[in-house]
Chains A and B, each alone.
Chain A
Amino acid sequence: MSVMTSAAVPPRIALVGNPNCGKTALFNALTGSRQKVANYPGVTVERKIGHFVSPLGRRVQVIDLPGTYSLRARSPDEEVTRDVVLGRFAHEESPDLLVCVADATNLRLNLRLVVELKRLGLPIILALNMMDAAEKRGCRIDAAALSAALGVPVVPTVAIRRGGVQPLLDQIDGAVALAAAADAAESPAPCCSPCGSPNGWSEPSSRELRAYHQEVEGLLARCVTDAGLPPVATRRVDAVLLHPVFGLAFLFLVLFLMFQAVFAWAEAPMNLIDGAVSGLKDWVAATLPDGALRSLLTDGIIAGVGSVVIFLPQILVLFFFILVLEATGYLARAAFLLDRLMGGVGLHGRAFIPLLSSFACAVPGVMAARTIENRADRLATIMIAPLMTCSARLPVYTLLIAAFVPDRPVLGGLVGLPGLVMFALYAAGILSALAVAFVLKGTVFKGAREPLLMELPAYRLPNPRDIALGLFERARIFLARAGTTIFALMIVMWFLASVPGAPEGASEPAIQYSIAGMIGHALEPLLAPIGFTWQIAVALVPGIAAREVAVGVLGTIYALSDSGDALQSSLAGALAASWGLPTALSLLAWYVFAPQCIATLTVVKRETNGWFWPAVMFAYMIALAYGASFVTYRVASALL
């Protein structure tokens, strides 16, 4: 790097450290961004770039990296960290400064990586994060002595407290200036000078690793005057939650409660939104003169977007559970508890974490699989992630349940029948995922399981503000999607469903003669064996772009098909009146499996570097979906 560039290009600093030591929390505190922070190892799986202005007014670029225990990168997320630190990314040099983040409550393990990183010869600042937790446990660390012993600046930080990163900020300018000076002093020869350049890095041997540990012991002896108490509360809680019997029972109870709550807790707010939407529709219908504009607004936009927006409360309840589980530190425990059971189908216990994220959306779930080291294990996890019922499928499930499942209490009034059916649908997704994993691991992905070596973080009480902000963020994303993608698709669908108009003297509603109607009728023969009507066929097509749009399209189609006063009744009512139960069950079965999500297929392509695995995924899921719907429809038709 030349001296010229350091003046023009902002200095780049990278946050490096063990998993879960608070790098992302620090990144957020420095840059004011809202990247995901949670209490389990492996939250961040890609690099994130942000900027801040140092106390001396210098613009600085910060890179947040996935956590790692060593530069020897065992999994794709750790490879990102290695490549950024070593400057192996194309068109990117090593960062100008490493901010090594260490969890002060667990210095021994964290310092090992620092000692390894120091060998690279890059300028370093060591941030002792979580100082609040360390103090609470009675740890006493002599930062000045540690700084002298290590030969790098050491600053205490509390990333989650206001002003908790000030000590780090105070050091940044000095360190950046020093780094620039060192850079300038270096020989102007083209980049890879062996001394001080990390390009000479090679994997440490076990002997070197042991030597690093020895070095850390020496540092600790000099700088830690009191190691503090172990986290007693965490141990007490784990005595129950990791109990071989109660622990598993509790885990299943939590999952059951989560799926049940999605239905039960969201009911009242959903009714409110439903009322507001139909109120708006009536108001528009009453104010505007009859015509295309009124139809577009009421039948297209309000019926379509409205029937999706209704599901906001459910999605928030689901995310509430996931956010709380992530923030407490329970996720890693669940992976521990399930390791043996998931091993039965050849999966790694860790796979639980990506799979749970997939209940929200398969896209982050597929990305979270990066933390699984073994390629075969990772691919198996990626391939089944979309079988977890994602939140975009909730609207479809809920709509059909509302239309076809009577709301009566079961199990002695403990749960409602709709909630139970919802749970059964989730369970169907999970069980088929396990079955698919079993088949995959027995055939294409044969091989021994990767070892389990996973840190269990201390429990933390979730911060209500973080949870609230997380939910707010979710609501914003969901509504933005409803207002853009879904809104646009609904206008297109309304148009397709309205032109060309009905011919003279037509007996059927105009939609039968529209482009959408033609498409639906064209697809009908293909889908008739599984009991789908032409309306469903129309709804499935835009559902590929966004699953929940299917519900919106049904809303529009039935709004347009209705004549006169029937418009008043809800979509669920319209469906109940026009579909048989076998058709409804068949559509539910279809949605458990169908790979209708371009976003998921795209992310699978990115994560597996090619179209092969997404193609396999699409083929196997569509085959399963068609097969399951066929069987469901036939069996249900025969029995009912």
Chain B
Amino acid sequence: MSGQSFPETGQRPGGRHLGELRKGQRARVTGVDETAVVTSLPEGELERRMIEMGLVEGSHVEVLHEAFPGRDPIAIRVNEHTLALRRAEARAVLVAPAA
């Protein structure tokens, strides 16, 4: 795994999140931080769910499909599997452009 400093507080300047990627874009996950997301879940729950679904530091992601309307939700490739999620929650996944 590449050296990301603090994934939990990884809001570095210019950092992008999965929720803003467009169809066809690829990226690498650099951190999971749910503080920017409004959810009905208890604290820390969304982060753990994301990790359990494979969205963890170092995973490779690619946006495969966008639904209608509003290009939401999205279907993404996460390493070997395909995952559907909404853009709102995808904001919790911080990404860097794939090398």
Instruction: Name the B residues within 8 Å of A247 (CB-CB).
Output: 67-68
On whether the beta carbons of B51 and A450 are closer than 8 Å, the reply is: no
Instruction: Name the B residues within 8 Å of A107 (CB-CB).
Output: 80
Q: Is A479 an interface residue (CB 8 A)?
A: no
Interface residues of A (CB under 8 A from B): 69-70, 72, 74, 105-109, 112, 204-206, 209-210, 213-214, 217, 227, 230, 234-235, 238-239, 242-245, 247-248, 332, 335-337, 339-340, 349, 374, 447-458
A448 to B48, alpha carbons, bound, how many Å?
19
- Chain A residue nearest in CB terms to B58: A217
Contact pattern, B 52-78, Cβ under 8 Å of A = 1, otherwise 0: 111011100000111111111101011
CB distance from B1 to the nearest CB of A (A): 8
- Chain A residue nearest in CB terms to B46: A451
Contact pattern, B 12-49, Cβ under 8 Å of A = 1, otherwise 0: 00000000000000000000100000111100101111
A349 to B86, alpha carbons, bound, how many Å?
10
A362 to B49, alpha carbons, bound, how many Å?
30
How many cross-chain pairs have Cβ atoms below 8 Å apart between A and B? Answer: 128
On whether the beta carbons of A106 and B81 are closer than 8 Å, the reply is: yes
On whether the beta carbons of B80 and A105 are closer than 8 Å, the reply is: yes
On whether the beta carbons of B69 and A452 are closer than 8 Å, the reply is: no
Given A206-B48, A336-B84, A451-B85, do A108 and B79 touch, yes or no (CB 8 Å)?
yes
A449 to B39, alpha carbons, bound, how many Å?
8
- Chain A residue nearest in CB terms to B81: A106
Report 13 cross-chain contacts, Cβ distance below 8 Å, ordered by A residue: A70-B52, A72-B52, A106-B80, A109-B78, A238-B64, A244-B67, A244-B68, A247-B68, A339-B67, A449-B40, A451-B85, A451-B86, A456-B75
Instruction: Name the A residues within 8 Å of B64 (CB-CB).
Output: 235, 238, 242
Other than the known A70-B52, A227-B80, A452-B89, what 9 A-B pairs have Cβ atoms closer than 8 Å?
A69-B53, A107-B80, A112-B54, A205-B48, A230-B77, A244-B66, A449-B40, A454-B83, A455-B81
Interchain residue pairs A-B with the least CB separation, the first 3 = A244-B68, A448-B40, A242-B65
Q: Is B50 an interface residue (CB 8 A)?
A: yes
Given A74-B49, A374-B40, do A213 and B81 touch, yes or no (CB 8 Å)?
no
A217 to B2, alpha carbons, bound, how many Å?
13
On whether the beta carbons of B75 and A242 are closer than 8 Å, the reply is: yes
On whether the beta carbons of B67 and A242 are closer than 8 Å, the reply is: yes
Given A340-B68, A452-B84, do A213 and B51 touch, yes or no (CB 8 Å)?
yes
Given A112-B52, A451-B49, A453-B53, do A245 and B68 touch, yes or no (CB 8 Å)?
yes
Instruction: Name the B residues within 8 Å of A213 (CB-CB).
Output: 51, 56
A238 to B64, alpha carbons, bound, how many Å?
9
- Chain A CB count within 10 A is highest, among B40, B82, B85, for B82
CB distance from A558 to the nearest CB of B (A): 50
CB distance from A633 to the nearest CB of B (A): 39
- Chain B residue nearest in CB terms to A344: B69
A453 to B38, alpha carbons, bound, how many Å?
15
Select which of B1, B47, B88 is within 8 A of A206 by beta carbon: B47
On whether the beta carbons of A210 and B68 are closer than 8 Å, the reply is: no
On whether the beta carbons of A447 and B40 are closer than 8 Å, the reply is: yes
On whether the beta carbons of A340 and B73 are closer than 8 Å, the reply is: yes
On whether the beta carbons of B89 and A453 are closer than 8 Å, the reply is: yes
Instruction: Name the B residues within 8 Å of A448 (CB-CB).
Output: 38-40
On whether the beta carbons of B47 and A332 are closer than 8 Å, the reply is: no
Instruction: Name the B residues within 8 Å of A337 (CB-CB).
Output: 67-68
A428 to B68, alpha carbons, bound, how many Å?
24
On whether the beta carbons of B84 and A454 are closer than 8 Å, the reply is: yes
- Chain B residue nearest in CB terms to A337: B67
A245 to B66, alpha carbons, bound, how many Å?
10
Instruction: Name the B residues within 8 Å of A447 (CB-CB).
Output: 40
Instruction: Name the B residues within 8 Å of A374 (CB-CB).
Output: 40
On whether the beta carbons of B80 and A340 are closer than 8 Å, the reply is: no
Instruction: Name the B residues within 8 Å of A340 (CB-CB).
Output: 67-70, 72-73
On whether the beta carbons of A339 and B65 are closer than 8 Å, the reply is: no
A37 to B46, alpha carbons, bound, how many Å?
30
Instruction: Name the A residues within 8 Å of B75 (CB-CB).
Output: 238, 242, 336, 456
Given A70-B52, A339-B86, do A450 and B65 touch, yes or no (CB 8 Å)?
no
Given A69-B52, A340-B67, do A453 and B85 touch, yes or no (CB 8 Å)?
yes
On whether the beta carbons of B49 and A108 are closer than 8 Å, the reply is: no
CB distance from B28 to the nearest CB of A (A): 14
On whether the beta carbons of A453 and B83 are closer than 8 Å, the reply is: yes
On whether the beta carbons of B72 and A456 are closer than 8 Å, the reply is: no
A106 to B66, alpha carbons, bound, how many Å?
23
Given A217-B58, A349-B73, A447-B40, do A453 and B50 touch, yes or no (CB 8 Å)?
yes
A49 to B53, alpha carbons, bound, how many Å?
28
CB distance from B30 to the nearest CB of A (A): 13
- Chain A residue nearest in CB terms to B57: A210
A238 to B82, alpha carbons, bound, how many Å?
11
Select which of A72, A217, A451 is within 8 A of B39 by beta carbon: A451
CB distance from B26 to the nearest CB of A (A): 13
Instruction: Name the B residues within 8 Å of A230 (CB-CB).
Output: 77, 80
On whether the beta carbons of A456 and B84 are closer than 8 Å, the reply is: yes
CB distance from B69 to the nearest CB of A (A): 6
On whether the beta carbons of B51 and A332 are closer than 8 Å, the reply is: no
Instruction: Name the A residues within 8 Å of B57 (CB-CB).
Output: 210
- Chain A residue nearest in CB terms to B54: A109
On whether the beta carbons of A451 and B80 are closer than 8 Å, the reply is: no
CB distance from A374 to the nearest CB of B (A): 7
A413 to B2, alpha carbons, bound, how many Å?
64
A257 to B57, alpha carbons, bound, how many Å?
45
CB distance from A107 to the nearest CB of B (A): 7
- Chain A CB count within 10 A is highest, among B49, B72, B77, B78, for B49
Given A112-B52, A336-B75, A451-B49, do A206 and B84 touch, yes or no (CB 8 Å)?
no
CB distance from A125 to the nearest CB of B (A): 23
CB distance from A372 to the nearest CB of B (A): 13
Instruction: Name the A residues within 8 Å of B72 (CB-CB).
Output: 340
On whether the beta carbons of A450 and B67 are closer than 8 Å, the reply is: no
- Chain A CB count within 10 A is highest, among B56, B80, B89, for B80
Instruction: Name the A residues within 8 Å of B73 (CB-CB).
Output: 336, 339-340, 349, 452
